[in-house]
Chain A
Amino acid sequence: SAVISQKPSRDICQRGTSLTIQCQVDSQVTMMFWYRQQPGQSLTLIATANQGSEATYESGFVIDKFPISRPNLTFSTLTVSNMSPEDSSIYLCSVGGGGLGTYEQYFGPGTRLTVT
């Protein structure tokens, strides 16, 4: 498996502001993803973070709202921009590939965001 950390673990933010979430993994991985888990709900994929190129966004998610960076094979950031209360969720990064096996993904502990 992999050791994945996220910062911050939680935050309370005011509407209209932005928050950048960091994801760090302890080994080089091929794939990094960002998911959103709204209260009491399942996980929804936001985007695939591509190393050295623009992220690939899923339907319903756009770069202006959720800009993503991935400067190397162990680190990625997700920014939640111009936040509203509807953005209150847990944001999770996950990693796969590299030395982790072909199929499975491993998740970070999540960032619990509350927007007031």
Chain B
Amino acid sequence: GDSVTQMEGPVTLSEEAFLTINCTYTATGYPSLFWYVQYPGEGLQLLLKATKADDKGSNKGFEATYRKETTSFHLEKGSVQVSDSAVYFCALSSTDSWGKLQFGAGTQVVVTP
């Protein structure tokens, strides 16, 4: 079945550091890929998405590229802020189960001043 694997946290960074969160997936067909963010005490927000190979999703300085050859969708940001402290979830929706999201375990990111 479909699965998503993302790097374990917590990831602790200083402000203005470079952030990478690795995400790899296993899926049948051609999934759509997503990053969601959950700020403390809040629900999930869609951060970015990519629906086909080589697509790059971007939002709020975050980027991720859909790499079919490596089945990866790594999240990056060049210069993090304290306000980026949150839990980040990688997720996929495969073509044969449209709408159902399979989530990774989540990666907590802590940015210190």
Cβ of B7 under 8 Å from chain A? no
Contacting residue for B42 out of A44, A97, A103, A109, CB 8 A: A109
Residues from chain A with Cβ under 8 Å of B49 in the complex? 103-104
In the complex the two chains form, is B89's CB within 8 Å of A103's CB? no
Residues B53-94 near A (CB distance < 8 A): 89, 93
Contacts of B99 in A (CB 8 A): 31, 33, 48, 96-97, 105
A19 within 8 Å of B (CB atoms): no
Consensus secondary structure, chain A interface: strand
Known: A42-B89, A42-B103. A104 touches B34 (CB 8 A): yes
Q: Within the complex, which residue of B42, B101, B106 is in contact with A105, where a contact is CB–CB below 8 Å?
A: B101
Nearest residue (CB) in A for B101 is A105
Q: Which residue of B lies closest to A102 (CB)?
A: B51
Q: Chain B contacts of A42 at CB under 8 A?
A: 89, 103-106
- Size bracket of the A interface: 20 to 34
In chain B, what residue has the closest Cβ to A112?
A: B41
A107 at the interface (CB under 8 A from B): yes
Judged by a CB distance under 8 angstroms, whether B17 is at the interface is no
| Residue pair B103, A43 in contact (C-beta under 8 Å) | yes
- Complex Cα distance, B104 from A105, in Å, reads 16
Q: With a CB–CB cut-off of 8 A, which chain A residues contact B45?
A: 107
A12 to chain B, nearest CB (A): 16
Q: Which residues of A contact B (CB under 8 A)?
A: 1, 31, 33, 41-45, 48, 92, 94, 96-97, 102-110
> What 4 A-B pairs have minimum CB-CB distances, sorted nearest first?
A107-B44, A109-B43, A103-B32, A31-B99
